[in-house]
Chains A and B, each alone.
Chain A
Amino acid sequence: MTAPGTLEVRGLAFAYPDGRQALFGVDLTVAAGERVAILGPNGAGKTTFVLHLNGTLGGGAGRVTVDGLTVGKPTLKEVRRRVCIVFQDPDDQLFMPTVRDDVAFGPVNLGLRGAELDDRVNRALALTGMSGAADRAPHHLSFGQRRRVAASTVLSMDPTILVLDEPSSNLDPVARREFADIVRSLGLTTLIVTHDLLYALQLCPRSVIMNAGRIVADGPTAEILRDADLLAANRLELPFGFVMPQVG
């Protein structure tokens, strides 16, 4: 029995129906409780990769295993409960009339009802500090609040692996830091898809670089960010004026 929160990807390849190949044999192993950043330029295949983790995309070569379950049709329901994705645009994720309804959407699909459902919803909202907004309409919240609610909508499914797609985009500095604090406090296995290198450094001890549908580097985040040539070769760069402290 594997510990909850383990992910194993072997030889994952995928081409879109129009023939464009997005993934060329991706291998990745993530241990329970690890936080890993998936870095890479636009169009590297990061989002395509992420959509394989819960079986939204599939049908190519390779295998994804979540907590020992191979992702496939028979395991789809359980995999989608375990692997939860917070998408980049909260407006894509929040579609119900109130925050409470939206946070309840996943657990209702899992068959929860009544007091158990209410309890899940309240706990998930408390985890992101959004309990006060339960009865508000999602489109009347600020962007930072909407991202936190979006996280609640998946935390209510009691996941073992959390996937965040560009979690820092469009957030002001304080909202960025608050969201990072929330992610850290959860203690879940977390994959963070981003090209915000400093956010990766802040949140993830380990990073992988994905480019042109392959994983081209895997190591401690600080080490990867110190390798200027590696970053340049993959269209990544640190913000202007920022220099990684050298190990002394």
Chain B
Amino acid sequence: MGGGHGHSHVLFVHVNSGVHRLAPECKVVATVLFVLAVVATPRAAFWAFGLDAAALIAVALVARVPLLGWGRRCLIEVPFLMFAVFLPFLGTAPTIEVGPLTLSEPGLWGAWNIAVKGTLGVAASALLTATTTVPDLLRALERLRVPRPLVAIATFMIRYGEVLSADLARMRIARISRGDDPRWIWQVRALARTAGALFVRAYERGERVYVAMLARGYGFGSDVPVLERAPGRSWATALTLPVAAGLVCAAAVVVAA
């Protein structure tokens, strides 16, 4: 069994920038507020979304996150956009003619609304993960007083996701080396059994992990987490982004009215 020596933080961009150094909880809060401001912006205010995007790009430049890689990560939203593609075809009247197609106007607006707000949200989250390591994100959640069981579940998912996928890979190799070749739907039986076995293994591992935790005094500790306060400057810097987006949103609302 060789130990993996992979990259420790897959999404993290190893640069030491001002954005990277901000306290993680400030960045989490800033990201959430930014997304809220974007969602609240009237969909007809095209210029407002342009300004929001420009603000995000400015943060990415300061953080020295490579724009191309950042853009590529945003592609994970593509499957979700598929839904938006159908809206102009399924929406109600009034319709407009675009070449040979008859498109619903409310549908087009709906699709645009989903696409632009979704993209900005995904881009903001991708920027957060590029500038904050996973352990820091978990710590941020703890400091933001997210209920501890939820933080613990997230921690375990990240830690054991890798162990389980290694388990799965070993089971797959063991199956294939005994002549299994699951290419057709009727060969899915072995795969289903593997999933079952994996579930049982994961469950048993959960029990062993719990025993190991008990052995180290789990359940006796005071439940007060170690709360260090982020410096005010960190908050002030991080919140400039959502404040900017909030102002843009307010301006767009005023213009629309």
Contact = CB atoms under 8 A, between A and B. Distances in A.
Contacts of B221: 108-111
A77 B5 contact: no
A120 B28 CA distance: 31
Contact of A140 (B3, B138, B158): B3
A56 B217 contact: no
B216 A154 contact: yes
Given A97-B155, A110-B221, A85 B1 contact: no
A146 B4 CA distance: 11
Contacts of B209: 92-93, 95
Contacts of B145: none
Interface stretch (A1-9, A98-106, A202-210, A217-225): A98-106
B237 to A, nearest CB: 24
Contacts of B162: 139
B216 A157 contact: yes
Contact of B8 (A85, A105, A113, A140): A140
Given A80-B214, A92-B205, A113-B226, 10 more contacts: A56-B211, A76-B220, A77-B220, A84-B215, A87-B211, A109-B220, A109-B221, A140-B4, A140-B5, A154-B216
Interface of A: 51, 54, 56, 76-77, 80-81, 84-85, 87, 89, 91-98, 101, 105-106, 108-111, 113, 136-146, 153-154, 157, 170
Interface residues of B, number: 33
B2 A97 contact: no
6 contacts: A81-B217, A85-B212, A95-B159, A96-B155, A109-B216, A139-B4
B134 A106 contact: no
A97 B216 contact: no
A91 B155 CA distance: 14
Contact of A98 (B135, B216, B226): B135
Contact of B214 (A56, A142, A144, A154): A56
A80 B211 CA distance: 12
Contacts, number: 98
Given A80-B214, A105-B216, A140-B8, A97 B135 contact: yes
Nearest to B207: A92
A219 to B, nearest CB: 29
A43 B97 CA distance: 76
B8 A136 contact: yes
Contacts of A77: 217, 220
B232 to A, nearest CB: 22
B217 A110 contact: yes
Contacts of A140: 3-6, 8
B159 A142 contact: no
Contacts of A56: 211, 214-215
Nearest to A139: B162
- The 3 A-B residue pairs with the shortest CB-CB distance in the complex, in nearest-first order: A142-B3, A109-B217, A109-B221
Interface in B207-235: 208-209, 211-222, 226
Nearest to A117: B226
A46 B85 CA distance: 62
Contacts of B174: none
B46 interface: no
A146 B2 CA distance: 11
Contact of A111 (B155, B156, B205, B222): B222
A97 B138 contact: yes
B8 A80 contact: no
B32 interface: no
A203 B69 CA distance: 53
